[in-house]
Structure 1
Amino acid sequence: MHNLWPWKLELRGTPSRAMTYLSPLIAIVLTMLLGALLFAALGKDPLAGLKVFLIDPFNGKRAISELLLKATPLILCALGLAVCFRANIWNIGAEGQFTVGALFSGAMLVFLDVPNHAIPGSVGLVLMVLAGIVGGAFWASITASLRDRFNANEILVSLMLTYVAQLLLMYAVNGPLKDPNGMNFPQSKVFSDEFMLPMLLSGTRLHIGFAVTLILAAVMTVFMTRSFRGFSLMVGGVAPHAARYAGFSSRSALWVSLLISGGFAGLAGAFEIAGPIGQLLPSVSPGYGFAAIIVAFIGRLHPVGAVLGGLVMSLLYLGGELAQSRLGLPSAITGVFQGMLLFLLLASDTLINYRLRRKARI
């Protein structure tokens, strides 16, 4: 029966760099066009729907600050994932590493934030950030250890650990970190202002973490494009046999990439609970770790691209929230747009890398 289909996919030559970077733009445009059709199918004005997604998030300083605020954890997680994916290590557990980073940093703040404490706020912030990085890296190290010692599939291990992390957070806010004065709600106490991240723009919720994220994106650009370690990771991902021939350790690439990725995700979690949330809750993320996978691929696994991809994904988050309040659409609209974007990105990449050719007649 397979011979009845007269066409086959044939790999093209190496696509040009321009076409490689054009693919995400094509996917974004097609996502918005399909989104307009979706609005029409739901009985909404397509132009009003697109306005909510594309224009309203830029309406004023506060709206722009919210866009940058939501982009911060997405960019941080995507920076770490880009390192992993370049090294051909498929870390799908950034969401769990984000959660454990938030848990570790939140536990640190609960420990430090006591009456008449002797720890200055600046020192507490540094300890909180370090705890988040250590927490995320520790959770990623479990995946690295199982892959290293037992050759376990890192996709399944990192993904399953995400659910373990969520259960740990639920246990913590219902047990040892629960606010005794919180009327039995599963949450930690609200952290003191001196242990919260300083604001970047007055009158907004945008904190200094966004500036730190941009600095880290610049650092990772140098690391991935100009450093020997970054070069060895890239070679190991693209051509593992050549990497072994050149003496690059695949074991080292596994551990370095996963620890970097986990550390970035943990830092994102720390910024989230010491920024817009201000305490530990049963859920500290609306799915930033999973959405960051799309961000990394939109950005072509490049740190600068991750910044741009994070802004695009943040736009979808804010647009989805505005669509709920102004158009009466369900909360799932954000996930629908994210799914369309990922599907169309993969389709665009396929069309760029492959072409249909008629099978030769036998």
Structure 2
Amino acid sequence: MFKLEPRPQPSGLWTYASPILALAMTVLIGTLMFAALGKDPIKGLQMFFWLPINSGYALGELLVKATPLLIISLGLAVCFRSNVWNIGAEGQYILGAIFAAGVALLADADSSRWIVLPILLAGMLGGVLWAGLTALLRDRFNANEILVSLMLVYVAVQLLSYMVGGPWKDPMGFNFPQTKNFDAVTRIPRLFDGSRVSIGVLMALVGVGGLWIFLFRTRAGFSLQVGGLAPAAARYAGFSSRRALWSALLISGAAAGLAGALEVAGPIGQLTIYFPAGYGFAAIIVAYVGRLHPVGMVLSAILMSMFYIGGEMAQSRLGLTKSLTGVFQGLLLFSLLACDTLVNYRLKWGK
């Protein structure tokens, strides 16, 4: 039988081969799942892996969903590399959307086109404030940032429900919990006519390059990573763990808030109780499938957005529940965790 034998050092090959094997396992299990549900596995897999990329419009929608996932995961990568466990990016994403909507609702048809800039900055401020609460409680009271950031997600959801069902509720919205549609001047500029792809894609790509430079070419990025890998060595080198905590959480909050602002002022065009799509939680999977590397997260964000689109298509065309998206996300995550065992262990045949 096979047994696990520790490797003398982590395998560089399996570090990058593990996500590929995990994706193959996800496809295999997904095929069996479609067959068990009485659906054609080929058609089911087409919904997730072919239809999202088979036309120019489909590619545009893929980028629309990949943009917030990538931006949030870039911020989370800073936290995770610093050994700061921000699990509440969804709440920071929601607060960013609320702050951005507040600025957008103040605008009218006579406002300058530059109103888009304050909207984005307001979104980043909302995310920073919400992440700052987690940093404050961890710094002053040594509260667990995992629990604090996660619980703040539910507070953010309740705040969103109050705002769109109360002060900001659209009086002409047939009693739906939503704001009025934002004026056209507040909309995030689009890259192409007839497509919903906005300049958020360019911001995400700039963020990829900026994060790579920050992590691998600056002293500040180096100090954050040393603090995450070896706190004692970081203290000996004079790096501040407190500064690392605040920097990581505030950068992550700003990224999540920016994603929220781009979403409500971009493809949605209003603030509604239904706008949170779980991007903050899915971005955790994106970050780890991408190995916390900026380039790897680009690929994993595209893959995760394919799961979102595939879940929507499976609901409309195959009559399956939309929660199939979460099933595929979970399959990918657990497959990755299983395959990551091969990074530090090798399979060896033995009695």
TM-score interval for Structure 1 and Structure 2 normalised by the shorter chain: over 0.9
How far, CA to CA, are the matches of 1:182 and 1:46 in structure 2? Answer: 41
How far, CA to CA, are the matches of 2:160 and 2:4 in structure 1? Answer: 46
Asked if structure 1 preserves the Cα contact closer than 8 Å seen for 2:96 and 2:260, the reply is: yes
Shift of 1:194: 1.3
- Cα 1:334/1:140, change in 2 over 3 Å: same
How far, CA to CA, are the matches of 1:71 and 1:284 in structure 2? Answer: 15
Shift of 1:93: 0.2
The residue number in structure 1 matching 2:70 is 75
1:16-70 Cα offsets, whole Å, 9 max, x none, are 3332111111111110111011111111111111112111111211100000110
- Of 280, 292, 304, which aligns to 1:301? 292
TM-score in terms of structure 2 length = 0.96
1:168-211 Cα offsets, whole Å, 9 max, x none, are 01111112222233232211110011110111121111111111
How far, CA to CA, are the matches of 2:198 and 2:310 in structure 1? Answer: 21
- Of 316, 320, 332, which aligns to 2:323? 332
How far, CA to CA, are the matches of 1:357 and 1:160 in structure 2? Answer: 43
TM-score in terms of structure 1 length = 0.93
The residue number in structure 1 matching 2:133 is 142
The residue number in structure 1 matching 2:179 is 188
| Unaligned segments of structure 2, at least 5 residues | none
Q: Please, which moves more after superposition, 18-27 or 78-87? A: 18-27
Asked if structure 2 preserves the Cα contact closer than 8 Å seen for 1:102 and 1:284, the reply is: no
How big is the alpha-carbon RMSD for the aligned residues of Structure 1 and Structure 2?
1.8
How far, CA to CA, are the matches of 2:193 and 2:118 in structure 1? Answer: 25
1:54 corresponds to 2:19: no
1:351 corresponds to 2:306: no
Asked if structure 1 preserves the Cα contact closer than 8 Å seen for 2:14 and 2:340, the reply is: no
How far, CA to CA, are the matches of 1:319 and 1:146 in structure 2? Answer: 39
Q: Report matched runs for 1:126-205 at 5 Å.
A: 126-205=117-196
Shift of 1:114: 3.4
Q: How many residues align?
A: 351
The residue number in structure 2 matching 1:25 is 20
1:250 corresponds to 2:241: yes
The one-letter code matched in structure 1 to 2:31 is A
1:120-174 Cα offsets, whole Å, 9 max, x none, are 022x100000000000011000000000011100000000000000000111111
Shift of 1:10: 5.4
How far, CA to CA, are the matches of 2:249 and 2:88 in structure 1? Answer: 10
How far, CA to CA, are the matches of 1:314 and 1:17 in structure 2? Answer: 27
Shift of 1:355: 4.6
| Unaligned segments of structure 1, at least 5 residues | 1-5
Runs of 4+ in structure 1 deviating by more than 3 angstroms, as ranges, are 6-11, 355-359
Counterpart secondary structure, 2:234: helix
How far, CA to CA, are the matches of 1:175 and 1:329 in structure 2? Answer: 34
1:72-91 Cα offsets, whole Å, 9 max, x none, are 00001100000000000000
- Of 98, 101, 113, which aligns to 1:121? 113
How far, CA to CA, are the matches of 1:268 and 1:222 in structure 2? Answer: 21
The residue number in structure 2 matching 1:216 is 207
The one-letter code matched in structure 2 to 1:257 is A
Asked if structure 1 preserves the Cα contact closer than 8 Å seen for 2:14 and 2:342, the reply is: no
- Of 93, 100, 103, which aligns to 1:105? 100
- Cα 1:156/1:7, change in 2 over 3 Å: farther
- Cα 1:357/1:63, change in 2 over 3 Å: closer
